[in-house]
Amino acid sequence: MWSFNRELQEVQRMRGALALAGYWNGAKDSTATPEWLYNQLDSEFHFDFDPCPLNPKFDGLALSWGLRNYVNPPYSDKAPWIRKSLIEHIQGKTIVMLLPVDTSARWFQRWIHPYASQIRFLNQRLIFPPNKHHAAYASMIVVYDHVNYSEKYITWNRKL
């Protein structure tokens, strides 16, 4: 049987294990969302909370989120954030995540593919500030929402 507390404990355990193993290091994940992309998503979803801002002063995994959340997790530690996003969505909240595309990953197959309301595959690779070159990977926008979208998987053909 599903338990919120058990899921939250697992999120915290995963984060701790990654830190101890040397896989989690906030310094290598300090890249911002491209401003134009955030603004475009914000105009659609009207975000009221960012649980993992660029320079956090709180632990977004340990607190309750807003009603409409934007999540650009540290890519070296994304699994706990994806899991927490699903937990928050089950509680009635809207979550919009920017993630690297990896449909073969366990986190995609376990928490995104079965539960996402919509997955928007971006048609070009992003440039993450302060970098000046395109990322080495494709990106996707994962939406957990309580809206029935006409298509679950789309290519987001926005001018990047």
Q: How many domains does the chain have?
A: 1
pLDDT at 25: 41
Count of residues in the chain? 160
pLDDT tens for 13-26 read 665 554 443 333 44
- Beta-carbon contacts of residue 140 (< 8 Å; ≥ 6 apart): 98, 99, 100, 101, 119, 120, 121, 122
Based on C-alpha coordinates, what's the Rg of the chain? 15
Phi-psi group of 82: left, alpha or beta (phi > 0 → left; psi -120 to 50 → alpha; rest → beta): alpha
| pLDDT tens profile 52-105 | 998 889 999 999 999 999 999 998 889 999 999 999 999 999 999 999 999 999
* pLDDT the model gives residue 128: 87
Domain range for 102: 4-156
How is residue 139 written in tokens? 């990106």
Pairing of strands 139-144, 94-100: antiparallel
pLDDT at residue 2, as a whole number:
55
> 120 has which bridge partners?
141, 154
Residue ranges with strand state E in 3-117 = 68-71, 94-100
**pLDDT in the model for residue 132:** 85
pLDDT band for position 8 (cuts 50, 70, 90):
low
Q: Is the pLDDT of residue 28 over 60?
A: no
pLDDT score recorded for residue 21: 39
Residue-wise pLDDT for 92-146, tens only, equals: 999 999 999 999 999 999 999 999 999 999 998 998 888 888 888 999 999 999 9
